[in-house]
A and B are shown apart, each in its own frame.
Chain A
Amino acid sequence: MANKTPLYQAHVDAEARIVDFGGWDMPLNYGSQIDEHHAVRQDAGMFDVSHMTVVEVTGAEAKPYLQYLLANDVDKLQVAGKALYSGMLNEDGGVIDDLITYYLTDEHYRVVVNASTRDKDLAWMENVAQQFAVSVEERTDVAMIAVQGPNAIDKAQSVMTDEQKAAVAQLKPFVAAQAGSLFVARTGYTGEDGYEIMLPDEQGIDFWNQLQAAGVKPCGLAARDTLRLEAGMNLYGHDMDETVSPLEANMGWTIAWEPAERDFVGRKALTEQKQAGAARKLIGLVLEDKGIMREGQEVIANGEVVGVVTSGTMSPTIGKSIAMARIKRDINEENLLIQVRKKQLEAKVVKPCFVRKGEALV
């Protein structure tokens, strides 16, 4: 029996195409995923992200625990509500998951991890927690809605009370605030401005319907994937996993090397890898020819396979196929060949960030 989010009935009522995603029955699209994609780039769209796992980390040693658990340093979080993106690594420096941590107080942090990795994440977090005076507890009573797009903030605020509006009015990017029953974070996974909003599960459908009435378009996982790929954001299990280090997944910026005396899980392995140079790197590709790059396709340079596509799609914003690929570090060609089914097609190597705030960057 698949898990269902508090918003499930709203998706069924809207005749969404429902698929299994990491054990959850989730909306893939509500009609056209391309229309949904454009709504987020040009106006406002919303996603049910209630399947993601919310974990409350509380206790006297909440801070030192997270400083040891995560490659990024929660000491950077000094203002209540501030968020931090980080990898949670194993001892080999491989990525167990990528996650966001919200700072509430020195003894209370809220961590949001991926749905598909819930079980192993919780097991790992609990295991590491044994060395600290800390409690790690999953929340199962929240709905989460991501409202994204150039008009997302205006439209989301239009369904808030005056008190709630006041609480979020000054919210800076990557900061969250409690606004009545809403926990509103100015974060997202689309490359557009907007909010990710947590609220009590029983209020979820009503809030979703209010947003829809305010002109926010329901969007499914399919649009979420093309949006995040255009924005150059990694998807766990595709662009990185436990066999890949952050240095090989464009996540070097999420490793806090300083202060040098802070130990964290995976630090030793990462330090060695950094000194030797990571074997592989994650690049962006734009297909020059017609066709579509897909995950798993081989990347070829000088007649030799030098890597593999980790995520690929047709970019609705650019109108060409875009992809991320992991290739050998010493390959510096401007163009590479991609084995697309029976043909080898030429792709241009770019920084893996294709679209930001509605504008094509490649």
Chain B
Amino acid sequence: MNAFSYVTAQTAGSAVELVRERGRFLAGGMDLLGEIKDGLAEPAVLVNVKALPGTREIVVAKDKVVIGANVTLATLAEHAEAKKLLPALAQAADAVGSPQMRNVGTVGGNLAQHSRCWYYRQRDVRCVKKGGSRCFARGGENKYHSLFTKNMCLSPCVSNLAVALSALDAAVVVQRGAKTVTLAIAQLYERAWSEPKAHHSLAADELILRVEVPVAAGARSAYVRIAEKNEFDWALVSCVAAGRIEGGKLRGVRVALGSVAPIPWQVKEANAALEGREPTAENAAKAAERLLKDAEPREQIGYKIPIAQALVKRAVTALAG
């Protein structure tokens, strides 16, 4: 481990200033400390962002819920109003890791976490995500990898919150230099779609401050997943469906899949196929077909397709309540 300095930032502006010289933001540290110990990250400075004002609250407004980046996953999972207004998000938070991890891990950290690919995490493997020339998962042991990607790296986005927030059409407020910018979830991850080295779209000196989730009357959502183990395991595939039910029909519906692409996977045609329809298994199957149209069932990954189909069905039918 290299020697590093440690500084606590008092404002978002100073945090991004301080991190600029080979620094990393430190919130829960769940991912960062592992990367440092495994020799994957060698920051010169750790900028503690836990003291930033206003980042530890969940604020419920009339039309949205604002969740600070330093809110822990446990807090989110147990938040009474979040559970009521945004059940899929609370369920997604509750499904992360172990209770110890949820007590420490934060919303911002979960969204900005790095690849869990077992080649990327090997100290002595220099893969394309670390600037090497090849993806070892291609033609290798890739059962936990992506069905979709536009770049060489096969590692999927495994953030539970990303999938939920994608379906919930949330926005992320990010400190960029002296300003804040607001990104859609798709924008937060779009670089990872095309660039093998990217885990998300944020530059090293850009910091997630909060998440804004729109809430409409009658909104419903559901998070479903399957993992090899029942607890404390990564999802093989996860799915979130969100929308309203009006007169028995789905409105404003979005379905997102997790752990199948370097981004939360949404397909417009799939959402359109559900719009105005009943949340039935048959309609869900049609949406799943569109969601999975371009899936590449390579080597060990093909089994994720039937799982995704089943999860879409379960998530969409769960909206019927």
Q: Do A and B come from one complex?
A: no
Chain A interface residues toward B at CB < 8 A: none
